[in-house]
Amino acid sequence: MAAHDAVEVILAKRDKHELTDSQIDWVIDAYTRGEVADEQMSALAMAILLNGMNRTEIARWTAAMIASGERMDYSTLSRPTADTHSTGGVGDKITLPLAPACGVAVPQLSGRGLGHTGGTLDKLESVPGWRAALSNEEMFAILEDVGAVICAAGDGLAPADKKLYALRDVTGTVEAIPLIASSIMSKKIAEGTGALVLDVKVGSGAFMKDLATARELAETMVALGTDAGVHTVALLTDMATPLGLTAGNAIEVAESVEVLAGGGPADVVELTLALAREMLAGAGRDDVDPADKLADGSAMDAWKAMIRAQGGDPDAALPEAKESHVVAAPASGTLTRLDAMAVGLAAWRLGAGRARKEDPVQAGAGVVWHARPGDEVTEGEPLFTLLTDEPERFDRALASLEGGYDFGDGAGFTRGEIVLDRIS
């Protein structure tokens, strides 16, 4: 006879009790094996969203998710490992230049986009020939040879999370901090990296809209990593304004390549270097400066080698959208606000993102903005360029941008900091 049953566990959390280690171990294992039904796990997820979990419960929940699958071990590699994870934003292409610029082995297991936030794998799949699915053997070989790999997590890594993630997405329980923290950290701890740097986004374009909630999530994840023996730090970074000048798939790859070539938007470069320096410090390699790797071309060499190792052609032309629509600036002055959520929704509605996991994405779709907050704008000049293969998408994308930006005379305007806080 089973040690527990689903209703007992649901009732315990509904009535605000602390779940026992035994209850947590049982419910995660039984759900992964199909003994606990989706509607029962939905009820438990909602109870967790409403009533929370303490640090002991979250740690045990994370450990149970890790135990549902395999754990990777990079101890045989000739260099230390460090990884990063972003909680998701708009124009957030940082992983692309970050992995090659870092200088230690970066085993980056990434995901696909959902809703208004872009997915790293979707972006890279716009590179002709590139493939996300690698065997563990391929991944190890590329890490040893190139020093960076970006790929999809295999089915063997935290399968409980894969199942629960899909369920949370359709049951209104995505925002539960215990479930976000355990989802991210179960995969990252199982992945076996030695050091982990978390980029926790704050603002309109992020899941965490305010600093207090973002700090709670960051502190929860840092504690989980530290307790599991992984050197973990988190940076709280601004996502009120989108990063760089593009939101989409191929257009973000192109912008990332500009950064790797020693150029690119200042905010993308700044955040790439901030995260890379934290990763290097965590891996004990303070002697490496990632800015040098961008300047001397070695980061670009690593990028090209990484793309080739995964079947891609780094020199091939990237896909371009069939249709474009230019939005002219309605007035002259200083752009004082550009809302990340408005831009993210527009890119999504143009076909750069998906509403459901199984939906396809358009490689060439997205939004280019021709000014960032603080820049001077002239009436009638291009403010946005919208890109899609399906022109009927323009109207809804334009509606997303309405009210998403402001102009002023620029007096007293200052650009905010990108890195808002550091949690360790």
Active site residues: 85, 161, 168, 183, 187
Q: What is the 3-state secondary structure (H, E, C) of the chain?
A: CCCCCHHHHHHHHHCCCCCCHHHHHHHHHHHHCCCCCHHHHHHHHHHHHHHCCCHHHHHHHHHHHHHCCCCCCCCCCCCCEEEEEECCCCCCCCHHHHHHHCCCEEEEEECCCECCECCHHHHHCCCCCCCCCCCHHHHHHHHHHCCEEEEECCCCCCHHHHHHHHHHHCCCCCCCHHHHHHHHHHHHHHHCCCEEEEEEEECCCCCCCCHHHHHHHHHHHHHHHHHCCCEEEEEEEECCCCCCCEEECHHHHHHHHHHHCCCCCHHHHHHHHHHHHHHHHHCCCCCCCHHHHHHCCHHHHHHHHHHHHCCCCCCCCCCCCCEEEEEECCCCEEEEEECHHHHHHHHHHHHHCCCCCCCCCCCCCEEEECCCCCCEECCCCEEEEEEECCHHHHHHHHHHHCCCEEEECCCCCCCCCCEEEEEC
